Structure 1
């Protein structure tokens, strides 16, 4: 690296740029990205293109932080007023770690936009108390990072919002959603993330979670599902197939866009062929198909 005494103009920016690497693991979010649109997966995982912060996603992060921190208090202090009182402080902490979030709110409205947004977050936190009773819960894990390597070598990872264990040893995996519950015909897609987590827990602990629970704070619904081993084996097969498709796209550089109504919320329209854009130059070495078939270079 060039020292400051002999720095080349722009070198600092180059050093700060993310380095493209071949995917080495799979999370529920990135698996969903690839299923939604392979090109979106490439932009996020390989190109690491920046995305503008979203008020809705940031509110979700804030609410998750509040619900996690509430369990730091004794059971009899886990009340709705106490939880709502945590909102401003958790927002300050979030803003300190990510100052760019300040741009979500106009500077010329006297703070009215931020105040409304915080009130909406407080309402979501308060609604949680109509769905679960935290005075009767003692989670064994909160914001729990899990990672498992399957026999195939595929590494799965993710962060579980909450893990409860009953006195009898039964495990419940809980995930908070700040949006509304999906219609029944879309419930399977919503459960994919939870089955992913259940598979990881099963492979790590050799225990099939008794219940998967999605808590929708936006609509006040709770979606539950009790998995069995056959469910998890199906998810495992699906993930293996998905990973093979990701590896093939990584080696060939062929990442196809898959246009849907969700494109309207995508930050990358300017570089998407579906909107007349051109993706950035592919930052990885393309492996010729003949090399792959003949046992050529392996993925790092």
Structure 2
């Protein structure tokens, strides 16, 4: 029987879910969360963010090749077509290098150096990834729906799980490290609830300075983290009902795109549009390009 348009539309509607990026935004600064998830203010991507998107895409495609072809020359050859595809999908990215072909050339050269850095950290010919850019989603007992994208998932023949995330920036100091581990614990919790197995290793690969950060979670820690996410979601709902998204000034404000609208910097937020739905805010490709 042919489905009606209404039935088809109902099937594709997805429940609002909490992503690691939006949860991290709220923990960092509730007003930043509001700007991104409620007001949905546009943010102009930086050249560093777009480079991150391109390098992520190259590494994703690299693991789609036969193992013997996962070598530096082959990875470098993927960069130009990946960049061309990104420009086709998002023509506005070309404005980053308008009238600056030398700047684009240097940008591509920096991306190439990131690819070289990756090969100093591991040999991709020695294993196959189970999944790349994997969408994972699970509902906690409290009813909170968690959703996120994992750069790469490795599963050993004996069943151990490794979660890998590529970072095109430098290895962070304490604040940045805590933020990165928050994201990785989010993925670990979702995988534990989906598969019944706590990941053996969470691995962050910092390509700018060729460093890796590895972490091994346990069940007790993930249970505590689950309670943290429940608390974050309840706090988001309370702020959404009242419109009370307070700024939280920190060193991270230096990288915020919305200082002109922030009371901490003499700005005034736009009128609160109301809480349209309990929407935690979707992750974007830019969120995953750091």
1:101-180 aligned at under 5 Å gives the runs 101-107=93-99, 109=100, 111-180=101-170
Question: 1:117 Cα shift?
Answer: 0.1
Give a deviation string over 1:81-124, Cα, whole Å, max 9, x none.
110111111011111111111111131x3x10000000000100
Does the alignment pair 1:214 with 2:204? yes
Cα-to-partner distance string for 1:32-63 (whole Å, 9 max, x where unaligned): 11111110100100111111111111111100
Task: Give the Cα separation in 2 of the matches to 1:264 and 1:152.
Answer: 35
TM-score (norm 1): 0.84
Partner residue in 1 for 2:17: 25
Q: Which has the higher contact order (CA 8 A, sep 6+)?
A: 2
CA RMSD of aligned residues (A): 1.7
Count of aligned positions = 265
> Structure 1 unaligned runs (5+)?
1-22, 287-297
Alpha-carbon deviations, 1:61-87, whole Å to 9, x = none? Answer: 100000000112111111101101111
CA contact (8 A) 1:106 1:113 kept: no
Q: Pick from 228, 235, 254: which aligns with 1:245?
A: 235
**Structure 2 portions without partners, runs of 5+:** 1-14, 280-290
Distance in 1 (alpha carbons) for counterparts of 2:207 and 2:159: 27
Bigger radius of gyration, 1 or 2? 1
Deviation per CA, 1:123-161: give whole Å up to 9, x if none. 001110010110012011000000111111101110000
Q: Secondary structure at the match of 2:179?
A: helix
When normalised by structure 2's length, the TM-score is: 0.87
Contact preservation (8 Å) 2:24, 2:179: no
Alignment pair present for 1:67 and 2:80:
no
